[in-house]
Amino acid sequence: MKKPNYLSRKEAADYLNIKPQTLAVWASVRRYNLPFLKIGRKVYYLKEHLDEFLRSRTYTATLRHE
């Protein structure tokens, strides 16, 4: 069985090219359904969940609103 690939909040933010504070806000206001693991004050993200999040935010065309 393969060991889960957990990333710290800073590592996850670096992976997504955003600030760690942005991830904290998203978790606090539940902006996105991005699962995380919290142990005490430490927060961790599974790389697979980050990849899934990126796939869900990937578009092949822009939508034009009129």
Domain ranges for the chain: 6-56
| CATH domain 6-56 topology | Arc Repressor Mutant, subunit A (1.10.10)
C-alpha radius of gyration, the chain, whole number:
14
∠ Cα 27 33 39 (to 5°): 45
pLDDT band for position 64 (cuts 50, 70, 90): low
For residue range 41-56, list pLDDT tens digits in order: 999 999 999 999 999 9
Number of other residues whose CB lies within 10 A of the CB of residue 12: 23
pLDDT digits (tens, 9 = 90+) for 14-50: 999 999 999 999 999 999 989 999 999 999 999 999 9
pTM: 0.80
* Phi, psi (deg, nearest 5) at residue 43: -125, 135
